[in-house]
Amino acid sequence: MKAFKAIVSGKVQGVWFRGSTRDEAHKHNLVGWVKNMPNGSVYLEAEGEEENLKEFEKWLHIGSPMSRVENVEIEWIEPTYSYTHFEIKF
């Protein structure tokens, strides 16, 4: 089990980015959460198999169909093992 946290910036709010992120995480059997930040970016934490996380990271650079991702900052962290699914936080 591996984990990372990410900050995604660009046009990523109001374009179904969080919902698409959740769907993509489910597709890759990942757990964690995603949340809009006050500065217009999106923050997320994801845990799962390393190969699945790497595929998910590639998707984050593309984003939802209506988004325009300008930057993705990834930091690999220790997994918490506390998540049971991937959710959208408000």
- Measured at the CA of 71, the angle between CA 46 and CA 17, to 5 degrees, comes to 55
- 88 pLDDT tier (thresholds 50, 70, 90): very high
Of the candidates 22, 29, 36, 52, the residue annotated as catalytic is 36
**Whether 18 is catalytic:** yes
Convert the pLDDT of each residue in 34-87 to its tens digit: 999 999 999 999 999 999 999 999 999 999 999 999 999 999 999 999 999 999
pLDDT of 39 reads: 98
29 is catalytic: no
Domain count, the chain: 1
Q: Averaged over 4-11, what is the pLDDT?
A: 98
Residue 68 and residue 17 in contact, taking contact as beta carbons nearer than 8 Å: no
Sign of CA dihedral 60, 82, 13, 65: positive
> Which CATH number fits the domain that encloses residue 10?
3.30.70.100
- Residue 30's domain comprises 2-89
